[in-house]
């Protein structure tokens, strides 16, 4: 292996690798190097085994507390010898296992990006060994091999070009360049030359679109540019989403509170209340169960899954559940240009026939669109304009065709495909005109001449026409005449200046401009050779053609919506700066106060300066993969939640580094898709807007049911904690008001269905007019804490009063007043939760304004939970499991009235807190 081969001459590279340009390596030497350097393939990251992923689910603080509660319950069941004591143990362990299974199902950590990179390698390659050209598996390539390449070949290693002929290479997936780039093996480049400007190099994973070449392999496997991306992808750690951080923090806080309160209750009961230690322990276990929102993890998973399904219906596939909420808090979108903000299809936009300028409608390679004059009327296709369009079709090798899905694609050079499509819009179909005016010879394009010429018969009897296309300044220097409606006339200096002025105006719009000319030859001409370059002089000028990879119309609207939602869009591309800025201005990205930077300019910015620079930069051009990661990382250092969109290999590292990566599903490479958190199946930038809206709705709904569940848990803690401190002398017969299994039933079953219904709430009308959520703000912010405090206190009051009414009024004469009083407290708490679920549908709007029963899912959830409540109270044997007894009808009057207290408290709080 050698470092920076693009800085060396051909001879220096061959000497450094001890190889011969004509004979290649000897077979024996190639075998030795294969043993030294290894196979030319990209290894895969070893996936985490299923069993380890399952065990990792038990490391959560809340889960560990539940396991401890189950262990203590098992010890008590063994000591007391009561079979029914094992019910609590089995129920708690079942909950823990179910949550673990859901966690494994929720996130598969196996990374497929490396496998996708591996599949991109060419399966076979042509090399020179022992002086003969042979075909070998691409994974057998070694440094020093002489590779032979031609149009259509995938490049399977990094190669230093030795010789080439009219060579063009498609590097869009690696560098972001929207058109194939020309190569020059004779160039010797500076050490700081950017990836997209290394014209003497060929890179693994790219493809030859035109011409042929011979080169020496200088890098294989991980030592290629593609391999560097693969190794960096492996080293990038998965980022933690804000919701993950909040839930992790919540688990720790609840764990600490739970242990502290349980210890206090146990000590007070044993040493102050003089309760038996086993009863005190049972109270502590009940308190531990009350403190843990067992249903929270499952509800979060299910609601995120529902959101994923809804987003898939809108062409956005989310690969990771927790990425849904991250998308809703994104405030910067870093977007690749080619194929994301643009069509990734070169399109002719304007024509000039020496007299008039014409606009060409339509986008991409489809033969759809009109050619109009300056007045907007359909142009008459005859004379000079007809010949200009005809020359574009005939002097091109590309072919366009329609795929099964109706989209058009091209085979060959995209620039030529744009010319073929423009001709088709005027009725000149490639197949038809090629058959009518057969090509009899050609002079292929090369980087020295910057021209291409084709020869055609049958246009006029006894005459051969040659059509030449190329750079405008070069073509003009070779023209003596200009075609007019009256035929060829001398090309005057004034006319030449006019043509150059038009060319400049086209170029200032970031259009790629080609000039066309023709010449007549004797009909006896049969063929030409590369030595016949004198045919490319004394030409007759036909006109100019301006083309561009056009911006997506829907992207412009989407960017406007993003701006209204407080989201900044940034373009990051490997294309040229002028082209990038022109597209950015068209899309509305380049607004006042923002600048553009090239990769070279970015290299001069230090890591300390970059976080400030990125705040005022809207366009980055001619950037490398490392630049993209630097930009994304700098934005994150400035506390931005950053999204990166892209479709190429060059986007993969930034997709992984960003808070959320978004890949294109149609044009995107497998590498980009497998590195991303979300894939757009329609490649539509506007779909990101829908996904962001959905993400905001989902996060808002998660806040609603987190507040709903936690206020219940805090209320339960207050009930268990405060009542356990009340001495029996004050309230005779008092004991633990709720058992562990009752609390588990409430937390996991009764609360979960209304919580799921909250997760299906529709978004607020102004949700996309609000600024993104502060990255540092916890899901349980100050407003939610106050709301939880108000509702928890209301829950405690209603359950406490119900429990005392049972002990001292309804069942005071019973031999066992504690069990029916527990049932009253249990029923009051469940009904309070079901009524309160309606009030939780909005954090600031009254449920009566929303429509009390407008959420059908909530109605079904409440009705189902009511049926379950009746079942566990009145069905024999079932009620025994839950320590319940059948209640008399009269007991339901205070239960219903008391259950309305938390609902009323929530509505009154919203009325006072958000009255403005």
* Residues labelled catalytic: 336
* CB 443, CB 470: distance < 8 Å: no
CA distance linking residue 120 with residue 179, whole number of Å: 20
Cα 39–chain centre separation: 32
Cα 167–chain centre separation: 34
* CB 303, CB 756: distance < 8 Å: yes
CA distance linking residue 406 with residue 413, whole number of Å: 21
Sole residue written with tokens 């764990």: 255
CA distance linking residue 782 with residue 784, whole number of Å: 5
Query: What is the crossing angle of helices 782-805 and 818-839, to 10°?
Result: 150
Cα 54–chain centre separation: 27
Residue 401 buriedness (CB in 10 A; 0-12 / 13-18 / 19+): exposed
* CB 357, CB 350: distance < 8 Å: yes
Strand residue runs (E) in 588-677: 595-598, 617-621, 642-646, 660-664
Closest C-alpha to 335, from 619, 581, 599: 619
Cα 768–chain centre separation: 20
Number of neighbouring beta carbons within 10 Å of residue 679: 23
CA distance linking residue 860 with residue 849, whole number of Å: 20
CA distance linking residue 669 with residue 635, whole number of Å: 25
CA distance linking residue 587 with residue 590, whole number of Å: 8
Record the tokens describing residue 786, joined without a space.
Answer: 């106050």
Closest C-alpha to 573, from 598, 552, 548, 555: 598
CA distance linking residue 566 with residue 692, whole number of Å: 12
Sole residue written with tokens 């020309």: 182
Instruction: Categorise residue 130: left if φ over 0, alpha if ψ from -120 to 50, beta otherwise.
Output: left
CA distance linking residue 785 with residue 153, whole number of Å: 63
Record the tokens describing residue 324, joined without a space.
Answer: 């849904």
Q: Is 665 helix (H, G, I), strand (E, B) or coil?
A: coil
CA distance linking residue 910 with residue 840, whole number of Å: 10
CA distance linking residue 909 with residue 903, whole number of Å: 10
Residue positions counted in the chain: 916
CA distance linking residue 606 with residue 597, whole number of Å: 14
Q: Return the CA Rg of the chain.
A: 36
Beta-ladder partners of 261: none
* CB 779, CB 812: distance < 8 Å: no
CA distance linking residue 145 with residue 155, whole number of Å: 13
CA distance linking residue 534 with residue 516, whole number of Å: 17
What element of type H or E holds 303?
A: helix 294-312
Q: Which residues contact 731 (CB under 8 A, 6 or more apart)?
A: 804, 807, 808
* CB 155, CB 204: distance < 8 Å: yes
CA quadruple 423, 426, 431, 433: dihedral positive or negative? Answer: negative
* CB 88, CB 32: distance < 8 Å: no
- The CA-based angle 246-249-254, given to 5 degrees, is 120
């Amino acid at each position: 292996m050698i470092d920076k081969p693009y800085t060396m001459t051909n001879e220096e590279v061959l000497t450094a690798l001890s190889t011969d340009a004509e004979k290649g390596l000897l077979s024996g030497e190639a075998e030795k190097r294969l043993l030294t350097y290894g196979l030319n393939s990209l290894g895969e990251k070893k996936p985490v085994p299923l069993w380890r992923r399952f065990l990792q689910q038990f490391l959560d603080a809340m889960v560990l507390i539940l396991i401890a509660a189950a262990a203590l319950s098992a010890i008590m069941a063994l000591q007391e010898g009561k079979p029914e004591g094992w019910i609590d143990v089995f129920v708690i362990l079942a909950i823990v296992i179910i949550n673990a299974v859901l966690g494994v199902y929720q996130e598969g950590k196996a990374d497929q990006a490396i496998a996708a990179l591996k599949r991109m390698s060419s399966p076979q390659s042509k090399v020179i060994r022992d002086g003969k050209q042979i075909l070998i598996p691409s994974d057998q390539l070694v440094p020093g091999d002489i590779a032979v390449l031609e149009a259509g070949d995938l490049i399977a290693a990094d190669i230093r070009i030795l010789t080439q002929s009219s060579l063009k290479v498609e590097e869009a997936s690696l560098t972001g360049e929207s058109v194939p780039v020309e190569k020059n093996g004779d160039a010797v480049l500076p050490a700081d030359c950017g990836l997209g400007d290394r014209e003497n190099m060929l890179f693994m994973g790219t493809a030859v679109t035109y011409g042929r070449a011979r080169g020496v392999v200088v890098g294989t496997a991980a030592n290629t540019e593609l391999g560097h991306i693969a190794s960096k992808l492996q080293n990038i750690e998965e980022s933690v989403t804000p919701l993950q951080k909040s839930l992790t923090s919540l688990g720790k806080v609840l764990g600490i509170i739970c242990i502290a309160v349980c210890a206090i209750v146990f000590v007070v009961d044993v040493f102050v209340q003089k309760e038996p230690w086993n009863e005190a322990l049972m109270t502590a276990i009940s308190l531990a169960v009350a403190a843990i929102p067992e249903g929270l993890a499952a509800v979060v998973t299910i609601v995120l899954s529902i959101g994923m399904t809804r987003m898939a219906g809108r062409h956005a596939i989310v690969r990771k559940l927790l990425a849904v909420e991250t998308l809703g808090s994104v405030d910067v979108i870093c977007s690749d240009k080619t194929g994301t903000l643009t069509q990734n299809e070169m399109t002719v936009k304007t024509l000039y026939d020496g007299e008039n300028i014409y606009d060409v409608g339509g986008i991409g390679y489809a033969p759809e669109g009109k050619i109009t004059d300056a007045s907007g009327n359909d142009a008459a296709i005859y004379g000079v304009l007809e010949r200009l369009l005809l020359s574009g079709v005939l002097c091109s090798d590309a072919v366009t065709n329609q795929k099964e899905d109706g989209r058009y694609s091209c085979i060959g050079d995209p620039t030529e495909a744009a010319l073929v499509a423009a001709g088709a819009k005027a009725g000149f179909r490639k197949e038809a005109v090629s058959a009518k005016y057969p090509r009899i010879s050609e002079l292929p394009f090369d980087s020295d001449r910057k021209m291409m010429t084709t020869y055609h018969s049958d246009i006029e009897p006894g005459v051969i026409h040659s059509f030449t296309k190329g750079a405008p300044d070069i073509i003009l220097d070779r023209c003596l005449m200009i075609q007019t409606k009256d035929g060829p006339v001398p090309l005057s200096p004034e006319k030449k200046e006019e043509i150059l002025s038009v060319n400049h105006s086209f170029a200032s719009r970031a259009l790629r401009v080609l000039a066309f000319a023709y010449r007549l030859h004797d009909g006896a001409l049969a063929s030409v050779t590369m030595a016949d370059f004198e045919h490319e002089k004394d030409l007759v000028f036909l006109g100019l053609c301006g083309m561009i990879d056009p911006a997506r119309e829907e992207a412009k609207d989407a960017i406007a919506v993003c701006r209204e939602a407080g989201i900044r869009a940034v373009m990051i591309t490997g294309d040229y700066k002028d082209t990038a800025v022109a597209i950015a201005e068209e899309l509305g990205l380049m607004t006042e106060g923002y600048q553009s930077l090239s990769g070279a300019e970015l290299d001069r910015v230090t890591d300390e300066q970059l976080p400030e620079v990125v705040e005022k930069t809207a366009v980055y051009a001619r950037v490398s993969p490392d630049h993209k990661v630097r930009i994304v990382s700098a934005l994150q250092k400035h506390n931005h939640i950053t999204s990166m969109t892209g479709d190429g290999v060059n986007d993969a590292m930034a997709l992984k580094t960003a808070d959320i990566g978004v890949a294109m599903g149609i044009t995107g490479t497998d590498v980009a898709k497998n590195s991303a958190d979300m894939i757009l199946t329609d490649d539509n930038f506007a779909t990101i807007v829908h996904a962001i809206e959905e993400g905001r709705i989902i996060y808002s709904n998660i806040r609603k049911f987190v507040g709903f569940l936690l206020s219940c848990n805090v209320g339960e803690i207050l009930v268990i904690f405060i009542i356990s401190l009340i001495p029996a002398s004050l309230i005779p017969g008092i004991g633990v008001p709720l058992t562990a299994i009752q609390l588990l039933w409430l937390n996991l079953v009764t609360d979960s269905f209304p919580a799921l219904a909250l997760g299906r709430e529709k978004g607020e009308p102004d949700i996309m007019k609000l600024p993104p959520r502060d990255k540092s703000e916890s899901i349980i912010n100050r407003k939610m804490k106050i709301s939880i405090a108000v509702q928890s206190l209301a829950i405690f009051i209603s359950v406490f009063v119900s429990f005392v009414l049972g002990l001292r009024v309804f069942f005071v004469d019973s031999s066992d007043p504690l069990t029916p009083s527990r049932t009253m407290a249990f029923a009051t708490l469940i009904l309070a939760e079901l009524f309160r679920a309606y009030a939780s549908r909005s954090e600031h709007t009254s449920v009566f304004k929303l429509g009390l029963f407008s959420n059908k899912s909530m109605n079904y959830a409440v009705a189902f939970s009511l049926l379950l409540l009746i079942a566990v109270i009145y069905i024999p044997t079932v009620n025994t499991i839950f320590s319940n007894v059948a209640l008399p009808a009269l007991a339901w009057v205070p239960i219903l009235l008391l259950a309305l207290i938390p609902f009323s408290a929530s509505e009154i709080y919203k009325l006072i807190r958000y009255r403005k």
